[in-house]
Amino acid sequence: GRAATEPPVRVVSSDLMRDHHFGMLSPRAFALWRQVHQQGIRRYRDHKLGRTVVELVSPPPYTVRAQRQPDPLTPTAARWHMPVRVDNRPAQAANPDDDDDGDDDDEAASTSHSSCTWLCVRVPT
């Protein structure tokens, strides 16, 4: 009842929560939950403003894993969408001069907005 009417929960953190991940009975389920619910943090140096800018990065509207979809044109067929390459470089990796402290705390943000190449195929069932 009530939970369905409340806004979705987002976790704002650059922590990958590895200690929770290893303690789970189903680490795969936790990794999927984290990918869908963790709000990333992106920091970069804005040289024009002369300051560091912090932005919240929303999780993607879909998970980066193989997904099956019914084919609307042929009921006996299916469409598969499969990620074939994921680029998980942190935003700062493209411009190392922008990182203030040299740490890797933006790793979580990078996985939440990864660039990905997809292979889409139609398979008769």
Domain ranges across the chain:
2-124
Report the alpha-carbon distance of residue 39 to residue 43 in Å, rounded. 13
| Average predicted confidence (pLDDT) for the chain | 71
**Cβ 45 vs Cβ 97: under 8 Å:** yes
- Read off the pLDDT of residues 49-82 as tens digits, 9 standing for 90 and up: 999 999 988 887 788 888 899 888 888 889 999 9
- Residue matched to tokens 């970069």: 44
**Cβ 26 vs Cβ 52: under 8 Å:** no
What percent of the chain has pLDDT above 90? 17
Whether pTM exceeds 0.85 = no
What percent of the chain has pLDDT above 70? 60
Reported confidence tier of residue 25, pLDDT bands at 50, 70, 90: low
Reported confidence tier of residue 5, pLDDT bands at 50, 70, 90: low
Report the alpha-carbon distance of residue 39 to residue 90 in Å, rounded. 15
Report the alpha-carbon distance of residue 121 to residue 106 in Å, rounded. 34
